[in-house]
Structure 1
Amino acid sequence: MKELLRTTDLTKIAYATVLLQGEGIAAFQMDVHMSVLEGSIGILPRRIMVRDQDLFLARAVLADNGIGTGL
């Protein structure tokens, strides 16, 4: 799996996940439960991971919808 997106913006994570699902790209969110360690203040970023073969298409989908991956 490859990292597609890293952000602390929960709305960006949700929007990107829906966009990827709409294109049939399986996405896995990592670091979701880190809020227990950080005290739910949202300073630790969450990541979206995709399969290696889906990375190029997933980046294109996010770029077409104005979401920069920052990677």
Structure 2
Amino acid sequence: MRELVRTNDIVLVSAVGALLDGADIDHLVLDQNMSVIEGSLGILPRRILVHDDDVRAARRLLTDAGLSHELRPDE
């Protein structure tokens, strides 16, 4: 799996998740439950990962949605 987006913005996490779901691209949100530990301050960013085979399609989807500035650098 490869990291697609890293953000503290929970609305963005939800929007990216909805886009990926709509395109039938499996993804995983890591560190989502860390807010319990950090006291809901939003300090720790959430990471959205997709399978290696879906990285290109996911990046294109987010770029087409105007979210290319949120993408992690492509390795």
Q: TM-score range by the shorter chain?
A: over 0.9
- Give the Å deviation of 1:36: 1.8
Equivalence for 1:63: 63
Give me the whole-angstrom Cα distance separating, in 2, the residues matched to 1:6 and 1:51.
16
**Post-superposition CA distance 1:16-57 (Å, at most 9, x none):** 011111111001110011112211110110011100000011
Check whether the contact 2:3–2:72 (CA below 8 A) recurs between aligned residues: no
Give me the whole-angstrom Cα distance separating, in 2, the residues matched to 1:36 and 1:13.
17
**Secondary structure of 1:32's aligned partner:** coil
Equivalence for 2:33: 33
Q: TM-score, normalised by structure 1?
A: 0.93
Aligned residue pairs, count:
71
Check whether the contact 2:4–2:71 (CA below 8 A) recurs between aligned residues: yes
Check whether the contact 2:27–2:49 (CA below 8 A) recurs between aligned residues: yes
Q: TM-score, normalised by structure 2?
A: 0.88
- Root-mean-square deviation over aligned CA pairs: 0.9
- Give the Å deviation of 1:70: 3.7
Q: Which runs of 5+ in 2 are unaligned?
A: none
Matches within 5 A, 1:9-48: 9-48=9-48
